[in-house]
């Protein structure tokens, strides 16, 4: 039997939000395991450094995890804390997603310009400019409010708030959970219901990545693992994986446990928001991955497959 660890190093991106999230994990692990010392190591990722290009152009979700995985590989850290929505559905060989934490609010939020009295999307006039770094949000905004113009936005949340203040934009759209974790709830003009803007896969949850076979570290994580969030994340990530999606395609999903049943909503859209394919499924939480795949296949048959093929063909042509 492998001996338990008494000192654990947690890897984290260096942004303020990432460190808040990692601090939350550290404090709860420390409370659950009094004999173990937990320390945090900050790591800069490509996604944090390269800010002058849209995320799909620099490698998609993996740009927020690769350098941290390198640190796992060379054993300078023992576990990595990620925003689950940043974690690719297929991890490199040798790594596993060992825990999903209790999920915060999955919804997106509209942050109006601080000098604008207009705080909701519906109240904005045609021609308003909305900033977002997400193709999923972009497509759904354009589908919902066709008179809007959408511009790309990169950087950590602190940077994004600064860019908004210096801009002529009407506002920007961010994940509500991150805003709340930063203590910036007063900046939210409108919380957008999931029925109107489908969240990103894994949005609102933290995922803990470890080396495959590291049983002592996995055992420590049982204390902060949420069964309900794990079922939901499993279904959503299976849905995304079957669609072979990532940052280059507008895909959203929302899984949750209601009345002891797993309910999963999914969305695929064209880049311009002209075509939006939605579906839902429910069933036994233990069959979460199967439910995610089945919903993806339903949307593929309904026409989403054609939309995805066109997006990928366009991306290949752009390269």
- Helix H or strand E segment including 40: strand 37-43
The label of the residue with tokens 């280059």 reads 248
Phi-psi region at 66: left, alpha or beta (left = phi > 0; alpha = psi -120 to 50): alpha
For the beta carbon of residue 186, count every other beta carbon within 10 angstroms: 6
Rounded Cα distance, 278 and 266, in Å = 6
> Is residue 86 annotated as part of the catalytic site, yes or no?
yes
Q: Which of 100, 37, 45 is CA-nearest to residue 69?
A: 45
The alpha-carbon radius of gyration of the chain (Å, integer) is 19
Q: Decide if 240 contacts 89 (C-beta within 8 A).
A: yes
**Half-sphere CA count of 319, side-chain side, radius 13 A:** 10
Supply the DSSP symbol for 93.
Answer: T
**Half-sphere CA count of 252, side-chain side, radius 13 A:** 29
Rounded Cα distance, 173 and 134, in Å = 9
CA distances from 48 to 108, 284, 303 (A): 21, 39, 35
Two tokens at 25?
A: 């994990």
Candidates 86, 108, 214, 265; catalytic one? 86
Q: Decide if 254 contacts 39 (C-beta within 8 A).
A: no
Rounded Cα distance, 180 and 237, in Å = 24
Rounded Cα distance, 128 and 139, in Å = 15
Question: So which residues are the catalytic ones?
Answer: 86
């Amino acid at each position: 039997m492998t001996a338990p660890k008494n000192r654990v190093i947690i890897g984290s991106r260096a942004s303020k939000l990432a460190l808040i999230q990692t601090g939350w994990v550290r404090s709860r692990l420390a409370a659950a395991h009094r004999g173990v010392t937990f320390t945090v190591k900050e790591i800069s990722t490509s996604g944090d450094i390269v800010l002058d290009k849209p995320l799909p152009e620099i490698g998609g979700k993996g740009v927020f995890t690769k350098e941290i995985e390198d640190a796992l590989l060379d054993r300078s850290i023992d576990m990595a804390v990620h925003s689950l929505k940043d974690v690719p559905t297929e991890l490199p060989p040798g790594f596993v997603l060992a825990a999903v934490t209790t999920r915060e609010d999955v919804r997106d939020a509209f942050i109006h310009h601080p000098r604008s009295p207009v705080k909701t999307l519906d109240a904005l006039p045609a021609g308003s400019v909305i900033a977002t770094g997400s193709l999923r949000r972009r497509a759904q905004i354009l589908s919902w409010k066709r008179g809007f113009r959408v511009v790309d936005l990169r950087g950590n949340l602190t940077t994004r708030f600064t860019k908004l203040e210096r801009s002529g934009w009407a506002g920007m759209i961010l994940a509500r959970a991150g805003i709340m974790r930063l203590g910036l709830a007063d900046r939210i003009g409108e919380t957008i219901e999931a029925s109107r803007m489908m969240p990103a896969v894994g949005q609102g949850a933290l995922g803990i990545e470890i080396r495959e076979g590291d049983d002592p570290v996995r055992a420590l994580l049982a204390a902060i693992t949420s069964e309900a969030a794990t079922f939901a994340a499993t279904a959503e990530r299976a849905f995304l994986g079957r669609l072979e999606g990532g940052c280059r395609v507008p895909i959203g999903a929302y899984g949750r446990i209601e009345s002891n049943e797993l309910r999963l909503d999914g969305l695929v859209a064209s880049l311009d928001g002209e075509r939006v394919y939605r579906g839902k499924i429910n069933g036994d939480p233990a069959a979460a991955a199967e439910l995610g795949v089945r919903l993806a296949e339903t949307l593929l048959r309904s026409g989403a497959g054609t939309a995805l093929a066109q997006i990928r063909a366009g991306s290949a042509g752009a390269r």
